[in-house]
Amino acid sequence: MTSSETLTAPPSPPSGSPRSRGESPAAPGRIWLLALVVGVIAAVLAHLFAPARATPATGIEGDETLAADVERILGDRIVEVQGLSVARFDLDDPEAVEWASGGTADGSTPVGPDTPFETGSVMKVLTGMLLAEMVERGDTSLDRTLAEIFPDMDFDDPEVASITLEEMATHHSGLGAVPTGDENTVLLDSLLLIGPYESATPPVEGLVHSTAGSKEHYLYSNHAFAVLGHALAAEADSTYPELVRERILDPLGMDDTEVSAERPDGGVLPYFEPGVRVAPWTAVDYAPAGVATWSTVSDLVTLAAAVDDGTAPGASSVEVLREAVTTAGEVSEEEPAGGGDEETVMSLGMAWHHLRFPDGREVTFHNGKVYGSSTTVMFDDERVVVLMGNSYTLQETGLALGLLEGESGEPLTEPSTAVPFVLGMTVFLLVVPPVLLLALMIGRRTLITRRPLDRMRIVSLSLGNLAWMVYLQRGGVWTDLPSVAFPIAFGAVAAAITVGVWHWRRVPVEAGRFRWLHVTVFVLSTLFSLTLLGTMAYALAVAYV
C-alpha cells in the first residue's frame, strides 16, 4: 500500500443515500446481548401476568351416571369449563333429578345446583311465558302492535310501528340485534369483551329511529325481545322486573332468579374462557332478552318441570306458533350442532325453539350466551337437561344434546364455535407484529416496503406492539395455545424495543418517501395504539372490579 493510498479518505456516500440521511449502523453484538437479557426479564414478568392462568375443571362430580356422561361427552373439551352445574331428569319421574358439577365459581369455590349464573338468553323463555300468561288473562293479545302499546311514540319507520307482540316473541319482527345506529358502538364493546348492550340505546327509546327488515323470515333479535318485555310491562302498568317476579317467578318459587346489575351473593365470576375474566352484562334495560339476569340450575329445573306438566304460568308458550321457519341467512346463538343441516327443521313457540333433526329426533330448548356464561334448558319427549357454566367457550348446546341421549350421546370433538376466529386472530397478533418490529431493528428497514429506520417508525411500531400485547392479554383465546406463547412474544417485543432505544440517537426523525403520508400514518397509528391501550386498561379494570 502506498502512502497516498493510506492518506486517501473513503468516498462519501452520494447525497440522498440512506446513510447521508442518518441511517443507523447495525446494532453491535453487545446491544443484542442486552436486548436478550431485557427480553428474558420481560418474558418472565409477562408470565406472571399471562392471560391463560386458567383453572379449568379437571373432573365432574355428583350422580355417577350423569357425571360420567358429562365427562365422556366433553372429552378433551373439558378445558373449556371454568365452572359447570348440570341437572337431568326423566319426564315420567321429575322428582328423581340427577345432579353433577365441576370446576369453580371464582378459581377456588366449587359450583353447585344453587350457584347463581348469568342466564343469558334463557331469560327469553320467561319473557315468552309472561306474554302467554297475559294473553290467557286477557291483559293483551298477540296481535297488539307497538303503535297501540306506545301511542305517543313517533316512529320513523311505519314497519316498526306495526310490529306485533307475536312477531317479537317469534323473532319475526324484522328488528336487528340492537337499535339502528348502535351497531358500531356495540361492535367496539364486543371487541373489548365488554357487554355489547352497555352502551346501547335503551330498547324502547331506540324504536323511534330503528328500521325493520323483512318479517317473513326468522331473524334472532335481542332488541325485539327487550322491547317485548317492556311492552308487556306497559300493558300491565308495571316494570319488567316487577311483572316477571309477580306473574312467573313467585308462583313457581324461583327465589334465586332475578334481574340485577350486581352479581348476587355466591354468584359466579364470569370468564370468556377459563382464566380470562370478563365483566357481567349489566344493562338492565335489556333484561327481558337475558341481560343482567341471574338464576340457578335448581330454579331452572323447577321451571322446566312446571312447563312440562303445564302447571307453570304461561306454560302454553312452548306450543308451536310458527312451523318450519326459514332464516334470512343470519346465524343465531340458538343454532346447535347440526342446526345448519338443510334437513333440520326449526319451529317456534314464544321464545322456545323446536328442532326436528334428519333422524326424526325432536328437541325443545333455549340456550343463552353472554361473554361470561353459557346456559341451556332442553328437553325431548323423555328427558330434561339443564346446565349452566361460567365460560363463554363452553359448548352448552352440544353438551345438552348429548346428555339427552345418555350413553349414546356423541362426544364433542370440535372446538367451541366461539374459538376459531379469535384463536386465529390471537395467533396472528402473537406472530406478525413482533416479527415486523424485529425485522425493522435487525435490517434497519421495514420488512414489506423496505423504508429505512427512523424515530417515527421506532415509536409507532413499538407502541403498536405493546398495545396488541395488552389486547391479547385481555381479548385473546388461550386454551388451545401453549402457555409460553404470550411471554415469548412479549419478550421478543421488549428485546426489539431495547435495540430501538440504541438506534434512537443514530437515526433521523423521519425518513419516509412521502413525508406528508408518513406523518399522517404515524399520527393515526399512534392515536390508535394509545386508544387501544387505554380502552383495554379500562376493560381490565371493569372485569376485575
**pLDDT the model gives residue 14:** 44
**pLDDT the model gives residue 55:** 66
**pLDDT the model gives residue 6:** 38
Residue type present at position 315:
A
**pLDDT the model gives residue 393:** 86
* pLDDT score of 15 more than 50: no
Tell me the CATH class for 61-405. alpha beta
Mean pLDDT score, 60-64: 96
For the stretch 157-209, pLDDT in tens is 999 999 999 999 999 999 999 999 998 888 777 766 778 898 899 999 999 99
Task: Measure the CA–CA gap between 237 and 254, rounded to whole angstroms.
Answer: 23
What values do phi and psi take at 312, rounded to 5?
-75, 140
pLDDT confidence band for 79 (50 / 70 / 90) = confident
Please report, for the chain, the start and end positions of each structural domain, with discontinuous segments joined by +: 21-50+419-544, 61-405
**pLDDT the model gives residue 414:** 64
The model carries a pTM of 0.78
- 438-442, 444-448, 539-543: the lowest-pLDDT one: 539-543
* pLDDT score of 20 more than 80: no
Measure the CA angle with vertex 334, ends 253 and 92; round to 5°: 45
Mean pLDDT score, 479-485: 75
Taking each helix axis from N to C end, the angle separating 297-309 and 123-137, rounded to the nearest 10 degrees, works out to 40
Task: Measure the CA–CA gap between 541 and 277, rounded to whole angstroms.
Answer: 11
Question: In 3D, which of 532, 543, 531 has the Cα closest to residue 194?
Answer: 543
pLDDT confidence band for 26 (50 / 70 / 90) = confident
* pLDDT score of 274 more than 90: no
Question: In 3D, which of 391, 361, 387, 305 has the Cα closest to residue 96?
Answer: 305
For the stretch 203-234, pLDDT in tens is 999 999 999 999 999 999 999 999 999 999 99
**pLDDT the model gives residue 333:** 46
